[in-house]
Homo-oligomer: A and B are copies of this chain.
Amino acid sequence: MKEVTATIITIGDELLIGQTIDTNSAFIGQELTKAGIWLKRRVAVGDVREEILDALAQQSRDNDIILVTGGLGPTADDITKPALCAYFGASLVVHEGALQNVTDIFNRLGKPVTDRNRRQAEVPDSCTVLPNQRGTAPGLWFEKDGVVYVAMPGVPHEMKGLLLDRVLPKIRERFTLPAIAHRTLLIAGKGESEIAEILENFEGSLPPSIKLAYLPAYGMVRLRLTGKGDEQSSLEAAVAARFDLLKGLVAEWMVADEDISLPEAVSRLLKSKGRTLATAESCTGGAIAQMFTARPGASALYNGGVVSYSNEAKQDLLNVSAATLASNGAVSEATVLEMARGARHALRTDYAVATSGIMGPDGGSPEKPVGTVWIAVAGAAEARAQKFSFRFDRARNIELTAHNALNFLRRFVLEMEGE
Protein backbone atom coordinates (compact mmCIF):
# COMPACT_ATOMS: atom_id res chain seq x y z
CA MET A 1 0.00 0.00 0.00
CA LYS A 2 1.32 3.41 -0.93
CA GLU A 3 1.95 5.55 2.13
CA VAL A 4 -0.23 8.68 2.40
CA THR A 5 1.92 11.61 3.47
CA ALA A 6 1.08 15.07 4.73
CA THR A 7 2.74 18.36 5.64
CA ILE A 8 1.41 21.09 7.89
CA ILE A 9 2.03 24.66 6.75
CA THR A 10 1.44 27.16 9.55
CA ILE A 11 1.03 30.79 8.52
CA GLY A 12 1.57 33.71 10.85
CA ASP A 13 4.28 36.07 12.02
CA GLU A 14 3.11 35.52 15.62
CA LEU A 15 4.40 31.94 15.49
CA LEU A 16 7.78 32.86 14.05
CA ILE A 17 8.40 35.67 16.48
CA GLY A 18 7.46 33.26 19.25
CA GLN A 19 4.50 35.14 20.69
CA THR A 20 2.33 32.08 20.26
CA ILE A 21 3.28 28.49 21.00
CA ASP A 22 2.16 26.19 18.23
CA THR A 23 -0.11 23.69 19.96
CA ASN A 24 -2.14 23.14 16.79
CA SER A 25 0.58 21.18 15.04
CA ALA A 26 0.88 18.71 17.92
CA PHE A 27 -2.87 18.10 17.85
CA ILE A 28 -2.91 17.65 14.08
CA GLY A 29 0.15 15.38 14.28
CA GLN A 30 -1.57 13.13 16.81
CA GLU A 31 -4.74 12.86 14.76
CA LEU A 32 -2.93 12.19 11.48
CA THR A 33 -0.77 9.53 13.13
CA LYS A 34 -3.84 7.84 14.60
CA ALA A 35 -5.39 7.85 11.13
CA GLY A 36 -2.32 6.20 9.57
CA ILE A 37 -1.11 9.26 7.69
CA TRP A 38 2.62 9.95 7.83
CA LEU A 39 3.22 13.58 8.75
CA LYS A 40 6.49 14.15 6.94
CA ARG A 41 7.13 17.76 7.81
CA ARG A 42 5.86 20.88 9.48
CA VAL A 43 6.69 24.24 8.00
CA ALA A 44 5.92 27.60 9.56
CA VAL A 45 6.10 30.76 7.45
CA GLY A 46 5.27 34.40 8.14
CA ASP A 47 2.49 36.55 6.70
CA VAL A 48 4.47 36.95 3.48
CA ARG A 49 2.83 36.18 0.17
CA GLU A 50 5.91 34.74 -1.55
CA GLU A 51 6.74 32.56 1.45
CA ILE A 52 3.23 31.11 1.44
CA LEU A 53 3.33 30.42 -2.30
CA ASP A 54 6.79 28.82 -2.08
CA ALA A 55 5.76 26.61 0.82
CA LEU A 56 2.64 25.40 -1.03
CA ALA A 57 4.64 24.63 -4.17
CA GLN A 58 7.52 22.93 -2.36
CA GLN A 59 5.47 20.82 0.02
CA SER A 60 3.09 19.60 -2.67
CA ARG A 61 5.99 18.01 -4.58
CA ASP A 62 6.21 14.97 -2.31
CA ASN A 63 3.02 14.98 -0.26
CA ASP A 64 -0.59 13.91 -0.77
CA ILE A 65 -2.12 16.29 1.74
CA ILE A 66 -1.18 19.86 2.71
CA LEU A 67 -2.88 21.18 5.83
CA VAL A 68 -2.65 24.95 6.17
CA THR A 69 -3.50 26.62 9.49
CA GLY A 70 -3.56 30.28 10.44
CA GLY A 71 -3.76 33.43 8.40
CA LEU A 72 -7.57 33.37 8.15
CA GLY A 73 -8.57 35.55 11.11
CA PRO A 74 -10.34 38.90 10.78
CA THR A 75 -7.08 40.87 11.07
CA ALA A 76 -4.80 38.56 9.09
CA ASP A 77 -6.61 37.23 6.04
CA ASP A 78 -5.60 39.99 3.68
CA ILE A 79 -2.52 37.95 2.75
CA THR A 80 -3.46 34.27 3.01
CA LYS A 81 -6.67 34.25 0.97
CA PRO A 82 -5.24 36.28 -1.94
CA ALA A 83 -2.19 33.99 -1.88
CA LEU A 84 -4.45 30.93 -2.06
CA CYS A 85 -6.32 32.54 -4.97
CA ALA A 86 -3.05 33.16 -6.80
CA TYR A 87 -1.86 29.60 -6.19
CA PHE A 88 -5.08 27.97 -7.35
CA GLY A 89 -5.94 30.52 -10.05
CA ALA A 90 -9.14 31.41 -8.20
CA SER A 91 -11.08 34.57 -7.34
CA LEU A 92 -12.67 35.55 -4.03
CA VAL A 93 -16.45 35.23 -3.91
CA VAL A 94 -18.90 35.58 -1.05
CA HIS A 95 -20.10 32.16 0.17
CA GLU A 96 -23.72 32.42 1.28
CA GLY A 97 -23.53 29.68 3.91
CA ALA A 98 -20.39 31.19 5.44
CA LEU A 99 -21.97 34.66 5.44
CA GLN A 100 -25.05 33.31 7.20
CA ASN A 101 -22.74 31.72 9.80
CA VAL A 102 -20.95 35.04 10.40
CA THR A 103 -24.28 36.86 10.76
CA ASP A 104 -25.67 34.19 13.12
CA ILE A 105 -22.61 34.36 15.36
CA PHE A 106 -22.72 38.15 15.69
CA ASN A 107 -26.49 38.13 16.21
CA ARG A 108 -26.05 35.64 19.05
CA LEU A 109 -23.40 37.89 20.59
CA GLY A 110 -25.66 40.91 20.11
CA LYS A 111 -22.92 42.71 18.20
CA PRO A 112 -23.04 44.46 14.82
CA VAL A 113 -21.52 42.72 11.79
CA THR A 114 -18.69 44.86 10.40
CA ASP A 115 -17.31 44.79 6.86
CA ARG A 116 -14.23 43.11 8.25
CA ASN A 117 -16.37 40.33 9.71
CA ARG A 118 -18.28 40.01 6.45
CA ARG A 119 -15.03 39.46 4.55
CA GLN A 120 -14.60 36.25 6.57
CA ALA A 121 -17.27 34.79 4.27
CA GLU A 122 -15.25 35.47 1.11
CA VAL A 123 -13.67 32.29 -0.22
CA PRO A 124 -11.68 31.31 -3.34
CA ASP A 125 -14.20 30.14 -5.95
CA SER A 126 -12.34 26.90 -6.67
CA CYS A 127 -12.59 25.48 -3.15
CA THR A 128 -15.10 23.37 -1.28
CA VAL A 129 -16.24 25.24 1.84
CA LEU A 130 -16.07 23.29 5.14
CA PRO A 131 -18.51 24.90 7.60
CA ASN A 132 -16.96 26.16 10.85
CA GLN A 133 -19.40 25.78 13.73
CA ARG A 134 -17.09 27.47 16.23
CA GLY A 135 -16.07 30.66 14.46
CA THR A 136 -16.43 32.95 11.49
CA ALA A 137 -13.69 31.66 9.13
CA PRO A 138 -14.71 28.50 7.22
CA GLY A 139 -12.33 25.72 6.22
CA LEU A 140 -11.29 25.64 2.55
CA TRP A 141 -10.66 22.35 0.69
CA PHE A 142 -8.80 22.42 -2.62
CA GLU A 143 -7.54 19.72 -4.98
CA LYS A 144 -4.84 20.35 -7.57
CA ASP A 145 -2.78 17.81 -9.54
CA GLY A 146 -3.82 14.99 -7.21
CA VAL A 147 -2.84 16.83 -4.03
CA VAL A 148 -5.40 17.84 -1.40
CA TYR A 149 -4.95 21.22 0.32
CA VAL A 150 -7.02 22.26 3.33
CA ALA A 151 -6.84 25.73 4.87
CA MET A 152 -8.16 26.10 8.43
CA PRO A 153 -8.25 29.04 10.86
CA GLY A 154 -5.50 29.02 13.49
CA VAL A 155 -7.73 29.45 16.57
CA PRO A 156 -7.17 26.08 18.28
CA HIS A 157 -10.73 25.10 19.16
CA GLU A 158 -11.98 26.11 15.70
CA MET A 159 -9.20 24.18 13.98
CA LYS A 160 -9.81 21.11 16.15
CA GLY A 161 -13.52 21.08 15.39
CA LEU A 162 -12.94 21.46 11.66
CA LEU A 163 -10.24 18.79 11.57
CA LEU A 164 -12.25 16.17 13.47
CA ASP A 165 -15.71 16.90 12.09
CA ARG A 166 -14.96 17.82 8.48
CA VAL A 167 -11.41 17.30 7.30
CA LEU A 168 -10.50 13.81 8.56
CA PRO A 169 -13.79 12.23 7.39
CA LYS A 170 -13.24 13.73 3.94
CA ILE A 171 -9.62 12.51 3.89
CA ARG A 172 -10.77 8.99 4.78
CA GLU A 173 -13.17 9.07 1.83
CA ARG A 174 -10.53 10.37 -0.54
CA PHE A 175 -7.52 8.14 0.39
CA THR A 176 -6.93 4.48 1.27
CA LEU A 177 -5.16 4.54 4.62
CA PRO A 178 -3.03 1.76 6.18
CA ALA A 179 -3.72 -0.10 9.39
CA ILE A 180 -2.02 1.46 12.42
CA ALA A 181 -1.61 0.10 15.94
CA HIS A 182 -0.13 1.94 18.93
CA ARG A 183 0.53 0.69 22.45
CA THR A 184 1.97 3.02 25.05
CA LEU A 185 3.09 2.63 28.64
CA LEU A 186 4.21 5.12 31.25
CA ILE A 187 7.32 4.73 33.42
CA ALA A 188 8.37 6.70 36.48
CA GLY A 189 11.53 6.65 38.55
CA LYS A 190 13.99 5.52 35.89
CA GLY A 191 15.79 7.72 33.35
CA GLU A 192 15.52 7.49 29.59
CA SER A 193 19.09 6.34 29.03
CA GLU A 194 18.90 3.65 31.72
CA ILE A 195 15.69 2.32 30.19
CA ALA A 196 17.34 2.40 26.78
CA GLU A 197 20.15 0.16 28.06
CA ILE A 198 17.62 -2.31 29.40
CA LEU A 199 15.67 -2.34 26.14
CA GLU A 200 18.58 -2.47 23.70
CA ASN A 201 18.10 -6.14 22.78
CA PHE A 202 14.32 -5.85 22.73
CA GLU A 203 14.49 -2.91 20.34
CA GLY A 204 16.97 -4.73 18.10
CA SER A 205 14.61 -7.70 17.86
CA LEU A 206 11.61 -5.72 16.59
CA PRO A 207 10.45 -6.33 13.02
CA PRO A 208 10.79 -3.32 10.66
CA SER A 209 7.03 -2.76 10.76
CA ILE A 210 7.09 -2.06 14.54
CA LYS A 211 8.98 0.85 16.06
CA LEU A 212 9.76 1.79 19.66
CA ALA A 213 9.70 5.46 20.64
CA TYR A 214 10.91 7.13 23.86
CA LEU A 215 8.78 10.10 24.84
CA PRO A 216 10.17 11.93 27.87
CA ALA A 217 7.74 13.76 30.16
CA TYR A 218 8.67 15.45 33.48
CA GLY A 219 10.51 12.81 35.45
CA MET A 220 8.79 10.07 33.52
CA VAL A 221 9.20 8.30 30.21
CA ARG A 222 6.50 7.11 27.86
CA LEU A 223 7.38 4.12 25.72
CA ARG A 224 5.36 3.60 22.59
CA LEU A 225 5.24 0.77 20.09
CA THR A 226 3.82 1.70 16.70
CA GLY A 227 3.02 -0.87 14.05
CA LYS A 228 2.01 -0.13 10.50
CA GLY A 229 0.57 -2.73 8.14
CA ASP A 230 -2.16 -3.75 5.76
CA GLU A 231 -4.57 -5.56 8.03
CA GLN A 232 -5.74 -4.17 11.36
CA SER A 233 -6.40 -7.25 13.47
CA SER A 234 -3.20 -9.15 12.65
CA LEU A 235 -1.22 -5.93 13.12
CA GLU A 236 -2.79 -5.35 16.53
CA ALA A 237 -1.98 -8.91 17.56
CA ALA A 238 1.66 -8.49 16.49
CA VAL A 239 2.00 -5.21 18.38
CA ALA A 240 0.22 -6.66 21.44
CA ALA A 241 2.68 -9.58 21.59
CA ARG A 242 5.65 -7.22 21.57
CA PHE A 243 3.93 -4.98 24.08
CA ASP A 244 3.60 -7.88 26.53
CA LEU A 245 7.34 -8.52 26.24
CA LEU A 246 8.02 -4.83 26.80
CA LYS A 247 5.79 -4.70 29.89
CA GLY A 248 7.68 -7.60 31.38
CA LEU A 249 11.00 -5.83 30.89
CA VAL A 250 9.95 -2.57 32.60
CA ALA A 251 7.38 -3.92 35.08
CA GLU A 252 9.25 -2.51 38.07
CA TRP A 253 8.85 1.10 36.94
CA MET A 254 5.56 0.91 35.04
CA VAL A 255 2.89 3.38 36.15
CA ALA A 256 0.29 2.58 33.49
CA ASP A 257 0.10 0.29 30.47
CA GLU A 258 -1.82 2.74 28.34
CA ASP A 259 -1.35 6.26 27.03
CA ILE A 260 -2.57 8.21 30.01
CA SER A 261 -1.02 10.91 32.12
CA LEU A 262 0.10 10.39 35.69
CA PRO A 263 -2.83 12.46 37.09
CA GLU A 264 -5.16 10.19 35.13
CA ALA A 265 -3.44 7.04 36.42
CA VAL A 266 -3.72 8.28 40.01
CA SER A 267 -7.34 9.38 39.53
CA ARG A 268 -8.28 5.96 38.19
CA LEU A 269 -6.49 4.20 41.04
CA LEU A 270 -8.31 6.26 43.68
CA LYS A 271 -11.67 5.85 41.93
CA SER A 272 -11.18 2.09 41.64
CA LYS A 273 -10.60 1.92 45.40
CA GLY A 274 -13.46 4.34 46.14
CA ARG A 275 -11.06 6.71 47.91
CA THR A 276 -11.01 10.50 48.20
CA LEU A 277 -8.09 12.89 48.13
CA ALA A 278 -7.06 16.28 49.53
CA THR A 279 -4.02 18.38 48.66
CA ALA A 280 -1.87 20.64 50.84
CA GLU A 281 0.45 22.61 48.62
CA SER A 282 3.09 25.05 49.54
CA CYS A 283 5.78 25.09 46.83
CA THR A 284 3.59 23.64 44.09
CA GLY A 285 1.09 26.44 44.72
CA GLY A 286 -2.00 24.75 43.29
CA ALA A 287 -0.33 22.74 40.52
CA ILE A 288 -1.40 19.39 41.98
CA ALA A 289 -4.95 20.59 42.63
CA GLN A 290 -5.11 21.75 39.03
CA MET A 291 -3.90 18.42 37.66
CA PHE A 292 -6.90 16.72 39.25
CA THR A 293 -9.50 19.42 38.61
CA ALA A 294 -8.52 19.78 34.96
CA ARG A 295 -10.11 16.37 34.45
CA PRO A 296 -13.89 16.00 34.04
CA GLY A 297 -15.48 14.17 36.97
CA ALA A 298 -12.75 15.20 39.42
CA SER A 299 -15.30 15.90 42.15
CA ALA A 300 -15.89 12.15 42.55
CA LEU A 301 -12.50 11.75 44.21
CA TYR A 302 -11.08 15.22 44.88
CA ASN A 303 -12.66 17.13 47.77
CA GLY A 304 -10.31 20.08 47.55
CA GLY A 305 -7.13 21.44 49.01
CA VAL A 306 -5.25 24.24 50.64
CA VAL A 307 -2.56 26.32 49.02
CA SER A 308 -0.74 27.12 52.24
CA TYR A 309 1.80 29.59 50.93
CA SER A 310 2.32 31.49 54.17
CA ASN A 311 3.19 29.93 57.53
CA GLU A 312 -0.02 31.38 58.97
CA ALA A 313 -2.02 29.50 56.32
CA LYS A 314 -0.26 26.28 57.30
CA GLN A 315 -1.19 26.88 60.94
CA ASP A 316 -4.72 28.25 60.48
CA LEU A 317 -6.00 25.93 57.76
CA LEU A 318 -3.88 22.79 58.14
CA ASN A 319 -3.24 22.83 61.87
CA VAL A 320 0.56 22.73 61.50
CA SER A 321 1.95 23.64 64.92
CA ALA A 322 3.86 26.86 65.48
CA ALA A 323 6.50 24.85 67.34
CA THR A 324 7.11 22.55 64.35
CA LEU A 325 7.50 25.53 62.03
CA ALA A 326 9.78 27.33 64.47
CA SER A 327 12.12 24.42 65.09
CA ASN A 328 12.13 22.72 61.67
CA GLY A 329 11.19 25.42 59.20
CA ALA A 330 8.48 25.23 56.53
CA VAL A 331 10.60 23.00 54.26
CA SER A 332 11.03 20.00 56.53
CA GLU A 333 9.86 16.46 57.10
CA ALA A 334 7.94 17.39 60.24
CA THR A 335 6.07 20.28 58.59
CA VAL A 336 5.11 18.42 55.43
CA LEU A 337 3.84 15.45 57.46
CA GLU A 338 1.66 17.77 59.54
CA MET A 339 0.43 19.42 56.35
CA ALA A 340 -0.64 16.08 54.88
CA ARG A 341 -2.34 14.95 58.09
CA GLY A 342 -3.98 18.35 58.47
CA ALA A 343 -5.34 18.38 54.91
CA ARG A 344 -6.72 14.87 55.28
CA HIS A 345 -8.51 15.99 58.43
CA ALA A 346 -9.68 19.42 57.21
CA LEU A 347 -11.05 18.05 53.96
CA ARG A 348 -12.30 14.78 55.47
CA THR A 349 -10.64 12.52 52.89
CA ASP A 350 -9.07 9.06 52.83
CA TYR A 351 -5.74 10.36 51.55
CA ALA A 352 -3.85 13.63 51.36
CA VAL A 353 -0.65 14.66 49.61
CA ALA A 354 1.49 17.61 50.68
CA THR A 355 4.45 19.52 49.26
CA SER A 356 6.88 22.04 50.72
CA GLY A 357 10.08 23.14 49.03
CA ILE A 358 12.24 25.89 47.59
CA MET A 359 11.51 26.34 43.90
CA GLY A 360 13.91 29.18 43.18
CA PRO A 361 15.42 31.28 41.88
CA ASP A 362 15.70 32.80 45.39
CA GLY A 363 15.12 31.44 48.89
CA GLY A 364 17.84 28.81 49.01
CA SER A 365 20.43 28.40 51.76
CA PRO A 366 23.50 26.16 52.20
CA GLU A 367 21.44 23.67 54.27
CA LYS A 368 18.38 23.87 52.03
CA PRO A 369 19.47 24.83 48.52
CA VAL A 370 17.02 25.75 45.74
CA GLY A 371 15.36 22.54 44.59
CA THR A 372 15.04 21.01 48.08
CA VAL A 373 11.55 19.53 48.39
CA TRP A 374 9.70 17.49 51.00
CA ILE A 375 6.69 15.48 49.85
CA ALA A 376 4.33 13.68 52.22
CA VAL A 377 1.27 11.47 51.96
CA ALA A 378 -1.16 10.60 54.71
CA GLY A 379 -3.74 7.81 54.91
CA ALA A 380 -5.86 6.39 57.71
CA ALA A 381 -3.08 4.12 59.00
CA GLU A 382 0.04 6.20 58.53
CA ALA A 383 1.79 9.16 56.98
CA ARG A 384 5.11 9.11 55.18
CA ALA A 385 7.49 11.74 53.78
CA GLN A 386 10.40 11.77 51.38
CA LYS A 387 13.00 14.38 50.44
CA PHE A 388 13.70 15.22 46.80
CA SER A 389 16.24 17.48 45.12
CA PHE A 390 15.58 19.13 41.78
CA ARG A 391 18.02 21.34 39.95
CA PHE A 392 16.08 23.14 37.26
CA ASP A 393 14.31 26.46 36.88
CA ARG A 394 11.26 27.40 38.93
CA ALA A 395 8.65 26.22 36.42
CA ARG A 396 10.32 22.87 35.91
CA ASN A 397 10.96 22.36 39.62
CA ILE A 398 7.25 22.92 40.27
CA GLU A 399 6.23 20.44 37.57
CA LEU A 400 8.71 17.84 38.75
CA THR A 401 7.59 18.24 42.35
CA ALA A 402 3.93 17.86 41.37
CA HIS A 403 4.60 14.76 39.27
CA ASN A 404 6.81 13.15 41.89
CA ALA A 405 4.19 13.87 44.54
CA LEU A 406 1.58 12.08 42.43
CA ASN A 407 3.86 9.09 41.96
CA PHE A 408 4.71 9.03 45.67
CA LEU A 409 0.97 9.05 46.42
CA ARG A 410 0.33 6.32 43.84
CA ARG A 411 2.93 3.98 45.33
CA PHE A 412 1.63 4.66 48.84
CA VAL A 413 -1.98 3.86 47.87
CA LEU A 414 -0.89 0.68 46.10
CA GLU A 415 1.06 -0.40 49.17
CA MET A 416 -1.85 0.32 51.50
CA GLU A 417 -4.59 -1.21 49.37
CA GLY A 418 -2.89 -3.61 46.98
CA GLU A 419 -3.03 -3.58 43.18
Chain A residues with CB under 8 Å of chain B are 10, 13-23, 25-33, 39-46, 51, 55, 58, 73-76, 111, 114, 116-117, 155, 157, 192-194, 196-197, 213-216, 222, 224, 279, 281, 284-290, 292-294, 296-299, 302-310, 312-313, 316-317, 346-348, 360-362, 392-396, 398
Contacts and interface: CB of A to CB of B under 8 A. Distances in A.
A293 B317 contact: no
A398 B394 CA distance: 23
Contacts of A114: 193, 197
A189 to B, nearest CB: 13
A217 to B, nearest CB: 8
Given A43-B42, A285-B293, A308 B316 contact: no
Given A14-B213, A224-B19, A396-B157, A285 B312 contact: no
Contacts of A395: 294
A285 B309 contact: no
18 contacts: A16-B39, A16-B40, A18-B30, A21-B22, A40-B45, A42-B42, A43-B44, A58-B58, A75-B192, A116-B197, A285-B293, A286-B287, A294-B398, A298-B309, A302-B309, A304-B307, A307-B307, A312-B347
B25 A22 contact: yes
Contacts of A58: 58
Contacts of A222: 19
A39 B213 CA distance: 30
Interface class of chain A by DSSP: mixed
Contacts of A111: 194
Contacts of A73: 192
Contact of A304 (B44, B196, B306): B306
A55 to B, nearest CB: 8
A33 B285 CA distance: 33
Contact of A30 (B17, B27, B194, B347): B17
Contacts of A307: 279, 286, 289, 293, 304-307
Contacts of A296: 360-362, 394
A153 B305 CA distance: 38
B42 A29 contact: no
Contact of A116 (B193, B285, B289, B299): B193
B310 A304 contact: yes
Greatest chain B CB density within 10 A among A15, A28, A290, A361 is at A290
Given A18-B26, A286-B290, A287-B290, 20 more contacts: A14-B213, A15-B26, A15-B29, A15-B42, A16-B40, A18-B27, A18-B32, A20-B215, A41-B44, A41-B45, A43-B43, A281-B286, A287-B293, A289-B307, A302-B309, A304-B310, A305-B309, A306-B306, A312-B347, A317-B317
Nearest to A309: B304
Given A286-B287, A306-B317, A307-B289, A41 B33 contact: no
A398 B286 CA distance: 14
A29 B17 contact: yes
A192 B74 contact: yes
Greatest chain B CB density within 10 A among A18, A347, A395 is at A18
Given A18-B29, A39-B17, A40-B51, A304 B308 contact: yes
Given A16-B29, A18-B28, A303 B312 contact: yes
Greatest chain B CB density within 10 A among A26, A76, A194, A284 is at A26
Contacts of A287: 286, 290, 293
Contacts of A117: 193
Contact of A193 (B46, B55, B74): B74
Nearest to A42: B44
Contacts of A10: 42
A284 B288 CA distance: 13
A101 to B, nearest CB: 15
A310 to B, nearest CB: 4
Greatest chain B CB density within 10 A among A10, A116, A361 is at A116
